Structure 1
Amino acid sequence: MCRSAGLRFMSRATETMEEALRKALNDEVKPFGRGGGGCINSGRGYETKSLGKIFVKSNIKKGSDIMFRGEFASLKAMLETGAVRVPRPISVLNLGAHGWALVTDYIDMGGGNRQDLVKLGTQLARS
């Protein structure tokens, strides 16, 4: 059974995560929506004063900084092609007791449909 990593975002832990983000980003942060997670990472949207809406994906396991640096580089490379819309990578942060985090701009996925998947496949094939 998978233990959800998203539990770190509940109750008092949310305040602690927010404090860690405020310090790391040197910015005001306010969570929005519902945080969640799976077996590997947790994620949540935040509103910031200087960056606008951001998405923060975090992980407390050893080596997660390497994973997030790789994802940062991959998103940056895809963004530079202009072939498909991807979140703009902003930073990889060390959040101390909360592990590491990848910060990107927030994209409202809006619950896509089959046509969106066809469009994505076409864009990826062209890149």
Structure 2
Amino acid sequence: MELACIMELAQALAEESDQVELYPQYGRLVILRNIGKIIGACDRQYVDFLCLSNGLRAFDYVFYGFKSQELRPYLHDHMLSLWAWDSMLAGSFWGFASSSSGLKWGYLAKVDSRGNHYIGAYDRARR
């Protein structure tokens, strides 16, 4: 599914339900400037998402962004705390989303033929 279609669905859900919230985008330059705070690889698809919405809360899931007063922690802080929990993830798993149950989603160091990172899940309880 293309990003534009995903964002259209997210906006429709946000209008219908208070369980879905898109966070304001503070300009593409703010996002691109803060990308430098991410250590190592940066996923192009997630950057494109952040340029349309600086984070998203959908039901029990949170997709982190940058410099959002309403949505904390920031993306780079979330990644660093995840690496502090489990040093085996450092440099190989960049967490960008989580749920209240502790499940984390992120992109892996492995890239497909189109330059997109593979997405993985991490559950601290199952390590």
Structure 2 length normalisation: TM-score?
0.33
